[in-house]
C-alpha cells in the first residue's frame, strides 16, 4: 500500500513541517525506531486549537486537535525520511491533553489520533498508547502527541 495514495483517498494533505520550538531534534532515529518529538495542533507553528478539554473545548474539538497532531507528525517524518512508505508501523503514541478539572476522557479524545493512524496504516497503525491529562501545554495548545514508529 502506498501511504501517499492512502492519504489522498482519505482526502488528507500533509502540512509543512512545523518550525522547531526549542533545542531538540524533530526526529531521532535509534536502530529501526523513529522517535518523533511532541507535535501540537498547529499550522506553521501557530496554535490552531487551544484551551482546556472539558472547559473551552469539546471532546470532538480535541479529537480534531489530535488528528492535527498526527498530520504534523507525519509531515516531520516525511521531511526526515523523504518517503513515508519506509514506515513499517506505529510502535507507540504518548499523548497529553490540556484538561479542565474533572475532565477524564483523555483516552476518548486521543482516539481521534489513533483512528487516523489506523485508517492510514491499517492494523500496523495501531500501537501502544498512553493518554495523560495535564494542566497546561505550550502555547495553550489543547493536545500534544509524540510518536515512535518502526522503519
Q: How far, in Å, CA of 151 to CA of 148, rounded? A: 10
Rounded mean pLDDT, 107-134 = 98
φ/ψ of residue 135, rounded to 5: -75, -40
CATH, residue 141: 3.30.1330.40
Question: The pTM is what?
Answer: 0.97
Nearest alpha carbon to residue 74 among 107, 26, 29: 26
Query: What average pLDDT is seen over the chain?
Result: 97
Total structural domains within the chain? 1
**The pLDDT value given to residue 115:** 98
92: containing domain: 3-150
Amino acid at each position: 500500500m502506498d501511504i501517499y495514495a492512502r492519504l489522498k483517498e482519505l482526502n488528507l494533505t500533509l502540512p509543512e513541517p512545523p518550525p522547531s520550538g526549542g533545542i531538540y531534534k524533530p526526529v531521532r532515529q535509534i536502530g529501526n525506531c523513529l522517535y518523533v518529538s511532541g507535535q501540537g495542533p498547529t499550522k506553521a507553528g501557530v496554535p490552531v486549537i487551544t484551551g482546556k478539554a472539558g472547559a473551552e473545548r469539546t471532546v470532538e474539538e480535541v479529537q480534531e486537535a489530535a488528528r492535527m497532531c498526527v498530520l504534523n507528525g507525519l509531515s516531520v517524518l516525511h521531511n526526515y525520511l523523504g518517503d513515508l512508505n519506509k514506515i513499517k508501523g506505529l510502535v507507540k503514541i504518548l499523548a497529553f491533553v490540556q484538561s479542565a478539572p474533572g475532565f477524564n476522557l483523555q483516552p476518548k479524545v486521543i482516539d481521534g489520533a489513533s483512528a487516523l493512524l489506523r485508517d492510514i496504516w491499517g492494523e500496523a497503525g495501531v500501537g501502544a498508547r498512553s493518554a495523560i491529562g495535564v494542566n497546561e501545554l505550550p502555547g495553550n495548545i489543547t493536545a500534544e502527541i509524540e510518536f515512535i514508529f518502526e522503519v
